[in-house]
Amino acid sequence: MLRYILKRLLIMLITLWIIVTLTFVLMVSIPGSPFNSESSSNEVIQENLEKHYHLNQPYVIQYLLYLKSTVTFDFGPSIKQSNQSVNDLLGRGFPISFELGIVTIIVALISGVILGIVASLRHNGVIDYMAMAFAVLGISIPNFILATLLIQQLAVHLEMFPVARWSSPKHMVLPVLALATGPMAIIARLTRSTMLEVLTEDYIKMARAKGLSPWRIMIKHALRNALMPVVTIMGTLLAGILTGTFVIEQIFAIPGMGKYFVESINQRDYPVIMGTTVFYSAFLILMLFLVDLAYGLLDPRIKVHEEGGDEQ
Amino acid sequence: METILEVNNLHVTFTTYGGTVKAVRGVDFHLYKGETLAIVGESGSGKSVTANAIMRLIPHPPGKITAGTIRFKGREVTKLSEKEMRTLRGDDVSMIFQDPMTALNPTLTIGTQLMEGLRQHQKTPRHLAKKKALEMMNVVGISNAEERLKQYPHQFSGGMRQRIVIAMALICDPELLIADEPTTALDVTVQAQILELFEDIQKRTGVSIILITHDLGVVASIADRIAVMYAGKMIEMGTKREVFYNPQHPYTKGLLHSVPRLDVQKEQLTSIDGTPPDLFSPPSGCPFAARCSWTMEVCEHVYPEQTALTPSHRVDCWLQDERAKHVVTSMTRK
Amino acid sequence: MKLTEEGPPCQSPSHIPDEWFHRKETDQSAAEVVSRPSLSYWKDAWNRLVQNKMAMLGLIFLIVLAIMAIIGPVLSPYEVNKQDLPNQYQPPSLEHWFGTDAAGRDVFTRTWYGARISLFVGLMAAIIDVTIGIIYGGISGYKGGRTDDIMMRIIEILYGLPYLLVVILLLVVLGPSLTTIIIALTVTGWVGMARIVRGQVLQIKNYEFVLASKSFGAKTSRIIRKNLLPNTMGPIIVQMTLTVPSAIFAEAFLSFIGLGIQAPYASWGVMANDSLSAILSGNWWTLFFPAFFISFTMFAFNVLGDGLQDALDPKLRK
């Protein structure tokens, strides 16, 4: 287990280093300095920038100092917003985005798994077909289109929910719905197909031969095995939800990190772009790592295999 | 002797989109308390389906018991509700499956899987269930039981796993144990150990066993009576002695000739040519007619009468008919 | 002779004519029933695909879409970027089938131009992914050993990179254009394909071993065509079908965050993004048509991919 964790950690660090280096290479390769006076609005910012990025030093020194400041989670000042550092923006926006993301993933997981189970239990029945048709639609409709559709129908037309902003649970409904539908559909399809596979396994037949209740067979024997593949795709889904927040926050005018990020892209606010990219990547890679760990804990075969404790 | 199980005229069909497969076509047999009945046949002969039908574990759809009765201790199994069936399964009747590598859930500990049946059926409190589990581990010959209970299936070898599966099947003290090819997936040396275990357990608990197998060696070692199945029919049935030393059905004879024997020298091994009939549309006559070397006109048109040679030995074959005497004599002369 | 009471229900033995009790020579060949005729793999797969109604719906939609992308703009008298401010926000009518947008441009014309862009981006991304994937995965799988180890480690690291974040970063530097978007989408996009190709190559290597010992010479090409290609091409084709919609999605997504394809091109993503404010004022058609076509194209590729997966999987043959 320890070796497994160390190996994952090493790969994680290399991936992070690539991202950091990539941002640096891109910064210096942008034609004309990204930090020249024309793109920044005043001299105070210009001074802060030069101080943070050590622009008067050679590239190698710049790179090393950039690595150092990144490691200490200091992403420097914003170009466009005076007296705001990237850290300030992250501190303000990230909690909101995190809240949106967490609610989304919980909604997607619970509803996706339930939908998948129901479909698998009614295999080839009407419910199965309807659930899977719904799932294909959910995968096919991009979240930004779903978001505008929801705004038009439920917010503007029926006035059931507020159009935008982020202040009450009611404000959460539409953005979460728009963001969760895709992942939910993917989870539902995966859960269904693995459930169908698991239900034909011998140990399920054995459990039935033992006279266990359908409920116990379902929860204890089938579901746990069926959910393993769902755990493995959680990393990919998290990445999708995270990038999804960029557009969803923009459409619903939610003051989260995603909105700041998109604004920084439109304004070519390079320090914000770089800082946010590095931060997001670190966050995602950490999540991937946690998902890996969770998988190792869920499946006893992985743990023991790594310990070499097999006694055959 | 007390009869514990009685199966009459059992029919099971599977509906697939290629057509209806008549997997079991009118099977009759009974089982005495404390005996071992071996059901022998090649794959697809309907022996596993028969076993699953007794447990009512035929997946529906596509499978269905279309006719017949299954009486277990006087109760009609085919008429029980699913809920009543659950109280029977694992408690009064248990089953062991062919492949111990897949019969255990990889994500649950051995202890959990051993105890869950007991806790479900007899509402045994946890510590008593554990005591019983340890006892069963002892019975099936697994040492260091206390520690082993906390381990997962992949930490055991194939033979060990089959011992655990057997322990699991016996933990509620069932009166009937159905073992579906319990040794097929195991090494030969392990096979012998497992068969010994069966005998030992039967002596100890008096459990009745239905042993499904295609391996006559297994049958020879532990069966009391033998039933031979072919193409969904039980074509011959008798005590071990009767079937082994006085086989009447040409198929049974063929089966016995295809087993290597150490006690008979210079005998050539023979195989049975051809393949079993397609059960989508089984022949109206004897299903073995196309492969039989004694085939008569009648065999292709009418399914043979059941002939009782002794109270325990019966066979479905036209050669038993008086009118076929000359065929038998001509063949023996050859 | 004794009979048990449970005789067969059909005929009692006395009714059977005596002459039936004579030995017959068995016709062994009759026992061997010929199973269903064997079809070639591709024909068989195609038959299965045709039976999948959803997949066929997707395929037909895509064919129609491709035709319209080619001839659609020609059918329309309007130019794609011709502004006509007096005629802004015209609802769908006989003159403007899909209405006009904020600048009075004909949505019908722009939709088919958008189809060109989206399909082009999707197909190019898929083709480049496959090319790089086959080269990289092929080398990795074929060389094996240490080379394979190192190449797979690299893939593992690249796999951890957040795809869309890297794409955004690249586009910020390169500036958004048709070429740079395709480049950005394929920079890390090929990784999944390379993994699949490597797996397939490893499989082929195992086959080759069997092949070499079994049949040298003339039959080899036939075995490759009949056995190896079906088994190895299936997953690659399916992966390709699923790459296209994800590239189309990515392109539309990029338009939404301001990194979309710039004028004079009009992609569906750009059209949808431009129309965001229009839905609040009730001019639904400016958003509806691009949104519908993005969604339906992704839907079509997804169901076609699913159908192909089922049709090409030899394990599913029955």
Complex confidence, ipTM: 0.81
Q: Is A146 in contact with C279 (CB distance < 8 Å)?
A: no
Residue B112's CB is within 10 A of a number of other CB atoms, namely 16
Phi and psi at residue B20, to the nearest 5°: -100, 125
Q: What is the mean pLDDT of residues A152-166?
A: 74
pLDDT at C137: 86
B60 min Cα distance to partner chain A (Å) = 12
Surface-to-core class of residue A270, CB atoms within 10 Å of its CB (0-12 exposed, 13-18 middle, 19+ buried): buried
Q: At residue C283, what is the residue type?
A: N
Chain C residues whose CB is inside 8 A of the A280 CB are: 162, 165
Q: What is the mean pLDDT of residues A292-312?
A: 59
Q: What is the mean pLDDT of residues C66-80?
A: 79
Q: What is the mean pLDDT of residues B114-140?
A: 84
C280-295 pLDDT, tens digit each: 676 777 778 888 888 8
For residue C6, give the nearest of B28, B295, B323 by CB distance: B28
Of the listed ranges A116-120, B200-204, C131-135, C309-313, the one predicted with least confidence? C309-313
Q: What percent of chain C shows pLDDT beyond 70?
A: 74
Q: Is C87 in contact with C104 (CB distance < 8 Å)?
A: yes
Candidates C23, C28, C318, partner chain B, best to mutate (most B CBs within 10 A): C23
pLDDT at A82: 64
pLDDT at B173: 83
pLDDT at C29: 46
pLDDT at B232: 86
pLDDT at A112: 94
pLDDT at B334: 45
Whether pLDDT at A128 is above 50: yes
Q: What percent of chain A shows pLDDT beyond 90?
A: 10
Mean pLDDT of chain A: 81
Q: What is the mean pLDDT of residues A127-136?
A: 87
A238-259 pLDDT, tens digit each: 888 988 888 899 888 888 888 8
Which token pair is A117?
A: 């189970």
Chains that touch B (3 or more CB pairs under 8 A): A, C
Whether pLDDT at C32 is above 70: no
For residue B290, give the nearest of C18, C19, C30 by CB distance: C30
C244-282 pLDDT, tens digit each: 888 888 888 888 888 888 766 778 888 887 777 776 676
pTM of the shown model: 0.80
* A107: confidence class by pLDDT, cuts 50, 70, 90: very high
pLDDT at C28: 47
* C138: confidence class by pLDDT, cuts 50, 70, 90: confident
Q: What is the mean pLDDT of residues A93-106?
A: 91
Separation between Cα atoms, residue C4 and residue B315, nearest integer Å: 11
Q: What is the mean pLDDT of residues B108-121?
A: 86
Per the model's pLDDT, the better-predicted residue between B68 and B272 turns out to be: B68
Chain C residues whose CB is inside 8 A of the B303 CB are: 8, 10
Of B132, B164, B141, whose CA–CA distance to B151 is shortest? B164
Q: At residue A65, what is the residue type?
A: L
Q: What is the mean pLDDT of residues B157-185?
A: 85
Whether pLDDT at B294 is above 80: no
Candidates B87, B107, B170, partner chain A, best to mutate (most A CBs within 10 A): B107
* C63: confidence class by pLDDT, cuts 50, 70, 90: very high
Going by DSSP bridges, is the β-strand pair B233-239/B314-316 parallel, antiparallel, or unpaired? antiparallel
Record: contact C23-B9, CB cut-off 8 A: no
Whether pLDDT at C77 is above 80: no
Chains that touch C (3 or more CB pairs under 8 A): A, B
Query: DSSP assignment of B181-226, as one string?
Result: STTTTS-HHHHHHHHHHHHHHHHHH--EEEEEES-HHHHHHH-SEE
pLDDT at C98: 75
pLDDT at B107: 86
Which token pair is A185?
A: 């559909």
Per the model's pLDDT, the better-predicted residue between B261 and C100 turns out to be: C100
Whether pLDDT at C230 is above 70: no
For residue C21, give the nearest of B28, B307, B324 by CB distance: B324
Q: What is the mean pLDDT of residues C52-58?
A: 86
Q: Is A174 in contact with A155 (CB distance < 8 Å)?
A: yes
Whether pLDDT at C67 is above 80: yes
Q: What is the mean pLDDT of residues B114-118?
A: 86
Per the model's pLDDT, the better-predicted residue between C200 and A45 turns out to be: C200
Q: At residue A254, what is the residue type?
A: I
H helix runs in chain B, sequence order: 47-54, 82-88, 100-103, 110-122, 126-139, 145-148, 158-170, 188-205, 216-222, 240-245, 250-257, 297-301, 325-333
pLDDT at C10: 45
Sign of CA dihedral B43, B45, B49, B53: negative
